[in-house]
Structure 1
Amino acid sequence: MTDDPRAHLVEQFAQAHAALDDAFLTSRLRPLLETTLTVQQLRALGLVATGGATTTHALAEALDVSAATVSGVVDRLVGAGMVERHADPHDGRVRVLAPTDAGTATLRHLLTLPMDAELEVLAELDVDDLAALVRGMWALAEAARRSVPQAPPAG
């Protein structure tokens, strides 16, 4: 352990975060266990949604699969209303992939803690602790906004 108070607080935060992860494990897993999307479809949707793969060729490379395989994955995502294809404005032969609102909402649903459970826990905190937590969450969000690379806009 170090004498640096910041390092000590970061370690305490990591421990508290792990404890919260354990407490909410079941509620966080539920959406993943209930989805009808395959792991490959989730990976593809995530890559498309973050701008990591905006064409079928780029998606095939990112997933390390054949063009035929990725074509089937994309067809199923399009059929499910999660992804849309449209012509590239610079090269009409290329089909650009973009998430639909439903695709983005599905990812948010799968990757975020159900708010009902969180609100129930927050209601248990006293006002001073809740105010400190809100202040800290806004500070954390701002630090993340500044330092975590953001995905380029899809499309």
Structure 2
Amino acid sequence: MDNVERDRLADDLGDFRRALIPGFILQLLRGFEGDEPSVIQIATLYVLDHSALPTLRELAERIDRSVSATSRLVDQLVRRGMVDRHEDPDDRRARRIALTESGTDFLRGFERARADAQLKVMAHLTAEEREIVTRAMSLLGEASRRRTHAHPAHPEIC
């Protein structure tokens, strides 16, 4: 992809995101009443959603934060009930971090809200255009699964 194509894609995606993001983010955050999750908290939940119970140090590496900053972040997510710390059965000194059911529910709700917002935008397409977009989204999902399979220990690698 050359620079002109990349810039056109960035412009098109920017228009799409400006139409999509405010609605679904505001809808999602209504339930938090002033105690909204931060972007890094949401990103961390997604990292944990595709990780095999990392240690604090492993999680810190994956989200590119210090161990102390990651520890504070995990503390916040524990207080929200979105993650838990579990003793590592092979090393009692190590603690593994896992999503709770509440954390998983939050992410699935986030994804449903995003899909609902996307469908509202797609309602302005013709049936043929919707079919093309649906196929393209399926292809992107498949490419994402391949990428995750290629980097199972670090699915966030692009």
Deviation at 1:81, TM superposition (A): 1.5
CA distance in 2, matches of 1:99, 1:52: 10
CA distance in 1, matches of 2:42, 2:151: 19
Q: Which stretch shifts more, 104-113 or 74-83?
A: 104-113
TM-score normalised by length of structure 2:
0.64
Aligned to 1:143: 143
RMSD over equivalenced CA pairs, Å? 3.9
TM-score normalised by length of structure 1:
0.65
Is the Cα–Cα contact under 8 Å of residues 55 and 94 in structure 1 kept in the other structure?
yes
Larger Rg computed on CA atoms: 1
Matched, 1:127 2:127: yes
CA distance in 2, matches of 1:40, 1:146: 25
Aligned to 2:16: 20
Structural mapping, 1:90-105, within 5 Å? 90-105=90-105
- Structure 2 portions without partners, runs of 5+: none
Give the number of equivalent residue pairs.
148
One-letter amino acid of the counterpart of residue 16, structure 1: D
Q: Which stretch shifts more, 98-107 or 87-96?
A: 98-107
- Structure 1 portions without partners, runs of 5+: none
Identity percentage of aligned residues: 32
Structural mapping, 1:6-155, within 5 Å? 12-30=8-26, 31=28, 34=32, 35-38=35-38, 41-42=41-42, 44-51=44-51, 54-59=54-59, 62-66=64-68, 71=71, 73-110=73-110, 114-147=114-147, 150-152=151-153
CA distance in 1, matches of 2:53, 2:99: 11
SS at match of 1:94: strand
